[in-house]
């Protein structure tokens, strides 16, 4: 266990060196660079509440530098990671050190990074998620699912590998996109039923009795947006692109009472059985009044311009209040008591 100094209330804000995580394409550097930018915003937000913090750029071999800190604000991500377990390995080491840190433990991070494993657990609990198939490198590229389909890497974050060619309407397009993922990312492709509907996410802040389900956010694709109405990598990160210019976030978004309540209940249940903690985002596609859970992000971006921050503001929390709430929740957790994924009965709505 780390040698903690009970008299020291300083917090370490950690992120990963970019040159360690960058792997695929130069244009995918935008996602990696966000970590260090967010670290500065988080430090400023903590300072407004009278908290002292240091920003540390660390790799797994230098976590001894965290000894003496009261807690860790963990911003380590897996964008373009050369090691798909980078994010969960950091959490595992923090657990071994006995340091309280923001976000969930290693098992939750590892499971949520794998989109197929996440979908399997959602379906096992009786909730809706699009039908899917996983195609590994070397496998026959066929699914048995009807077109249109949607194709993305099974184990990337930040919309990496999602582009205007991710919606496929023919076998030839399917083969081309799956092969692209195999060649660029050296990992399986997730092929799922394409849900033509609204793109909505639900953010969750806090744990247990303090858990808040924040107002749902919708991504609106305006006239001029090119490609399928989904948040591609370009639309998420490339600020000079038309795709970025022609999508916007609305929170709270207009929903009837039934759809809003259903998605908020589903998000709460999913975050609980996946073992998420402190702050989480669950992404949905809403077809009519029927929500389909797509992905779970157990450590979503908290950049001031992020969807999560927008949802917090809609709930009456400014950026500093949101950041300090996340840290407060983390510091209340007992060392080594990060939840695994508890066995639960199927939950049907």
pLDDT tens digits for range 150-184: 999 999 888 888 999 999 999 999 999 999 999 99
User: Which residue, 108, 77, 61, 40, is CA-closest to 276?
Assistant: 108
Please tell me whether residues 167 and 208 are part of one structural domain: no
Please tell me whether residues 26 and 145 are part of one structural domain: no
- Residue 181, C-beta contacts closer than 8 angstroms, at least 6 positions apart: 151, 152, 153, 161, 187, 188, 189
> What confidence score (pLDDT) does residue 18 get?
67
- State how far the Cα of 277 lies from the Cα of 262, in Å rounded to an integer: 21
User: For residue 340, is pLDDT > 60?
Assistant: no
> What confidence score (pLDDT) does residue 159 get?
86
**From residue 301, how far is each of 38, 150, 157, 345 by CA, in Å?**
8, 23, 11, 31
Please tell me whether residues 155 and 224 are part of one structural domain: no
Please tell me whether residues 319 and 209 are part of one structural domain: yes
Please tell me whether residues 220 and 317 are part of one structural domain: yes
Number of CB atoms found within 10 A of residue 176's CB: 14
pLDDT tens digits for range 284-329: 999 999 999 999 999 999 999 999 999 999 999 999 999 999 999 9
In this structure, is residue 293 part of a structural domain?
A: yes
In this structure, is residue 349 part of a structural domain?
A: no
Please tell me whether residues 124 and 213 are part of one structural domain: yes
**pTM, rounded to two decimals:** 0.90
Please tell me whether residues 325 and 239 are part of one structural domain: yes
| CATH number of the domain residue 150 falls in | 3.30.1490
Q: How confident is the model at residue 2 (pLDDT cuts 50, 70, 90)?
A: very low
User: For residue 94, is pLDDT > 90?
Assistant: yes
Domain that holds residue 22: 11-102
Mean pLDDT, to the nearest integer, of 200-223? 96
In this structure, is residue 5 part of a structural domain?
A: no
3-state SS of 125-193 is CCCCCCCEEEECCCCCCCCCCCCCEEEEECCCCCCCCCCCCCEECCHHHHHHHHHHHHHHHCCCEEEEE
In this structure, is residue 290 part of a structural domain?
A: yes
In this structure, is residue 211 part of a structural domain?
A: yes
Domain count, the chain: 3
| CATH number of the domain residue 239 falls in | 3.30.470.20
| CATH number of the domain residue 60 falls in | 3.40.50.20
């Amino acid at each position: 266990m780390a040698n903690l100094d009970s008299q020291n209330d300083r917090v370490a804000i950690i992120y990963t060196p970019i040159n360690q995580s960058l792997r695929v394409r130069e244009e995918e550097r935008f996602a990696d660079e966000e970590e260090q930018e967010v670290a500065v915003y988080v430090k400023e937000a903590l300072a407004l509440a009278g908290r002292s913090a240091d920003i540390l750029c660390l790799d797994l071999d230098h976590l001894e530098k965290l000894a003496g800190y009261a807690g860790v604000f963990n911003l380590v991500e897996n964008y373009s990671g050369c090691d798909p377990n980078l994010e969960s390995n950091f959490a595992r080491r923090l657990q071994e050190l006995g340091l309280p840190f923001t976000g969930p433990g290693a098992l939750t991070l590892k499971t949520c990074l794998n989109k197929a494993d996440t979908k399997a657990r959602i379906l096992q609990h009786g909730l809706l998620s699009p039908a899917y198939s996983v195609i590994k490198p070397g496998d026959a590229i066929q699914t048995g699912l009807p077109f249109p389909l949607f194709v993305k890497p099974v184990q990337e974050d930040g919309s990496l590998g999602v582009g205007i060619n991710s919606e496929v309407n023919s076998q030839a397009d399917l083969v081309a996109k799956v092969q692209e993922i195999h060649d660029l990312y050296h990992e399986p492709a997730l092929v799922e039923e394409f849900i033509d509907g609204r793109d909505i996410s639900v953010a969750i802040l806090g744990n247990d009795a303090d858990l808040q389900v924040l107002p749902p956010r919708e991504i609106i694709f305006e006239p001029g947006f090119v490609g399928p109405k989904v948040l591609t990598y370009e639309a998420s990160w490339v600020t000079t692109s038309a795709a970025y210019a022609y999508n916007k976030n609305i929170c709270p978004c207009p929903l009837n009472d039934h759809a809003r309540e259903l998605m908020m209940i589903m998000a709460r249940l999913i975050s609980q059985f996946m073992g998420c903690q402190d702050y989480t985002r669950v992404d949905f596609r809403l077809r009519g009044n029927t929500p389909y859970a797509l992905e779970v992000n157990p450590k979503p971006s908290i950049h001031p311009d992020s969807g999560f921050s927008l949802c917090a503001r809609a709930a009456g929390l400014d950026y500093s209040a949101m950041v300090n709430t996340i840290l407060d929740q983390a510091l209340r957790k007992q060392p080594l008591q990060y939840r695994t994924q508890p066995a639960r009965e199927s939950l049907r709505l």
